[in-house]
């Protein structure tokens, strides 16, 4: 079901022209910083892929891909991508990207099963990135170092926005806090996963929650992850499970946490086989992507996605993602949003 959060007394700090200027400046500046921090080169990405090759991202495993027939391929089916998590790793191999270097791209997707609201749209735009790593970097220290580099680019970008629009005061802390999803559960044992995210993000301002997709001590996952890209089942050197996570910040406008990025060290052969078995998805071993990984044709990598509209929404202090991007919204939501000071594009 769709939802609408209406912040009391909300008043947009920027008009439409200023907002468009801000979006352009943020996107240009952040992707340059991301590229420099992680040594990434830009590549061109597909909007759709052939169905049945195992390339599309399965997200939580329940979302339906938008599908259409291709006349010149005997009506073979193509799918609009959900994200490019697996396509990027294929591209690293095909482009022969060296260790400690990688790629990034503009990913545009349609997620028709989204519950529409302040943070969720049918249209998804993000920077998808992937970097070749050494086998001995499959550890939490390396994951944290990459997160810190991405976060440093975020902090610099917020200061750029402040220089452009002094009425927007910086709120991000200088350093990001790390916590494992199991430790977060123990810290707030009576809270739901979303309530735990809100509580920890409000306490620290910016947080990276490690171990997304692995079952916790209460038998539940903090959140779902597909079995064939992030490694959420390997036991790390500290004895906890998972080499991936989500980056969240505290949003003062909506008075709640906002997820800006999901990322992780990717599965190797052992982790892929283990996670496919856990998820009862072993039939995927015969798919194109999975066969190449199991045959040792793909490099070990780390990668993720960073939401472009959400990032702009946070920096420009907007209350609804529809103030940043053009999409389709229920008419009743448009009317209510407008009455609450949110002009949906």
Per the residue annotation, which of 223, 246, 251, 323 is the catalytic one? 246
246 in active site: yes
262 is catalytic: yes
Q: Which of 35, 83, 121, 126 is catalytic?
A: 126
Full 3-state SS string of 228-283: CCECCCCECCCCCECCEEEEEEEECCCCEEEEEEEEEEECCHHHHHHHHHHCCCHH
In which order are the strands placed within the sheet that holds 102-110? 40-42, 102-110, 123-132, 301-307, 256-265, 244-251, 206-210, 177-180
Catalytic one of 89, 111, 131, 225: 111
Residue ranges in the chain assigned as alpha helix (H): 16-38, 85-94, 140-164, 181-187, 193-204, 269-278, 288-294, 308-315, 331-339
Choose, from 137, 149, 259, 284, the residue flagged as catalytic.
Answer: 259
Catalytic residue among 31, 57, 231, 317: 57
Is 111 marked active-site? yes
Q: How many CA atoms lie within 13 A of 230 on its CB side?
A: 28
Which phi and psi angles does 85 have, rounded to 5°?
Answer: -55, -45
Catalytic, out of 181, 262, 300, 325: 262
Concerning whether 186 is annotated as a catalytic residue, the answer is no
Of residues 190, 198, 172, the one with CA closest to residue 254: 198
Residues with catalytic annotation?
57, 111, 126, 246, 259, 262
């Amino acid at each position: 079901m769709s939802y609408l959060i209406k912040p009391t007394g909300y008043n947009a700090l920027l008009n439409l022209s200023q907002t468009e200027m801000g979006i352009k400046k943020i996107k240009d500046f952040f992707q340059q910083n991301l590229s420099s921090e992680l040594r990434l080169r830009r590549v061109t990405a597909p909007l759709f892929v052939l169905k049945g090759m195992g390339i599309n991202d399965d997200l939580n495993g329940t979302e339906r891909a938008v599908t259409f027939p291709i006349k010149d391929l005997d009506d073979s089916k193509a799918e609009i991508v959900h994200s490019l998590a697996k396509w990027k790793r294929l591209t690293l191999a095909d482009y022969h990207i060296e260790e400690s270097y990688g790629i990034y791209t503009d990913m545009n997707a349609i997620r028709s099963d989204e519950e529409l609201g302040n943070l969720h749209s049918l249209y998804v735009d993000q920077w998808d990135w992937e970097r070749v790593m050494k086998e001995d970097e499959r550890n939490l220290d390396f994951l944290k170092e990459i997160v810190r580099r991405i976060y440093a680019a975020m902090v610099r970008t917020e200061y750029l926005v402040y220089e452009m629009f002094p009425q927007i005061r910086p709120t991000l802390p200088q350093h990001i806090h790390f916590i494992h999803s199991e430790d977060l559960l123990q810290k707030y044992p009576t809270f739901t996963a979303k309530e735990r995210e809100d509580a920890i993000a409000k306490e620290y301002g910016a947080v990276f929650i490690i171990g997304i997709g692995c079952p916790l001590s209460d038998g539940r996952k903090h959140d779902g992850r597909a079995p064939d890209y992030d490694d959420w089942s390997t036991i790390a050197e500290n004895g906890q499970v998972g080499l991936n996570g989500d980056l969240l910040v505290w949003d003062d406008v909506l008075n709640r946490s906002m997820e800006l990025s999901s990322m992780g060290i990717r599965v190797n052969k052992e982790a892929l086989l283990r996670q496919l078995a856990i998820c009862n998805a072993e039939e995927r071993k015969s798919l194109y992507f999975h066969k190449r990984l199991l045959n040792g044709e793909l490099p070990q990598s780390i990668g993720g996605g960073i939401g472009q509209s959400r990032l702009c929404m946070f920096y420009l202090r907007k209350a609804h993602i529809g103030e940043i991007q053009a999409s389709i919204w229920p008419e009743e939501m448009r009317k209510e949003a407008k009455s609450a000071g949110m002009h949906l594009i």
